[in-house]
Amino acid sequence: MTIRAAADGSALGNPGPAGWAWYVDDSCWAAGGWKHATNNQAELTAVLQFFRATAHLDDELLILCDSQYVINCVTKWMPGWKRKGWRKADGKPVMNVELLQEIDAELPGRRYRFEWVKGHANHPLNEAADSRARAVSEAYQRGTAIPAGPGFVRPGERAVTRPSDTRLAPAEAPEVPPPAVLFDFDEPAATETVDVVVTLSAAEFDRLSARARTRGVRPEQVLRDLI
């Protein structure tokens, strides 16, 4: 199965109040943002958050973007930048390197394609992602509640949302809501632990192991990060 989603960003003033969003359908989307960021940072974050939201899946991803910069970063330029120590051909540091490194860490074992779509051309998925990203940037501008969305939800599944990533602007990071409860039992006290058994397919385990090797951590740490 191929999951088709649009990813987009918005920054009022660029830089300024900013929002990101990815959108599959009206019951499956997410958005977030910051008080101050650039449009490119928002666009890259939309892609990063979609990869993270679907990290538990084996499905192929088709990501629709109206940003050639984002598509070229992920599909063309990153391998060369990595070989050069995340520097461009002229030796200057790569812009938005932390975001790009986080995206790169999500790619091992994933099946994905990017497709460019023209922005503001009435493409249904792109318009839906754009309107949600802009709604977040406008909410930060007005100081109102952030429309975060339900997160990734398959038909018949319960929504599991995760707070938006605030590492772009740590000094100005807004308060984020706590993660949704993942289990149907009372959570333990902070000093207690709970053993959870996870059954993975061979393909899922290979993908988990590949991500762990990329990050230089044990596979269980990758699972903890996802939770």
Q: Which of 19, 43, 102, 165 is catalytic?
A: 43
The torsion angles phi and psi of 101, rounded to 5 degrees, stand at -65, -35
Q: Which of 19, 32, 66, 165 is catalytic?
A: 66
Q: Which of 120, 156, 186, 195 is catalytic?
A: 120
Q: Which of 32, 130, 151, 165 is catalytic?
A: 130
Residues 6+ apart with CB under 8 A from 157: none
**How many angstroms separate the Cα of 135 from the Cα of each of 63, 127, 141, 147, 148?**
21, 12, 10, 7, 10
Query: Six-digit token pair at 216?
Result: 């230089």
Q: Which of 8, 102, 104, 106 is catalytic?
A: 8
The question of whether 43 is a catalytic residue gets the answer yes
The question of whether 186 is a catalytic residue gets the answer no
Rounded CA-CA distance 24/2 in Å is: 11
CB half-sphere exposure, 139, CA atoms < 13 A: 18
Q: Which of 9, 19, 32, 33 is catalytic?
A: 9
Rounded CA-CA distance 155/30 in Å is: 16
Residues in a beta bridge with 33: 19
The catalytic site residues sit at: 8-9, 43, 66, 120, 130
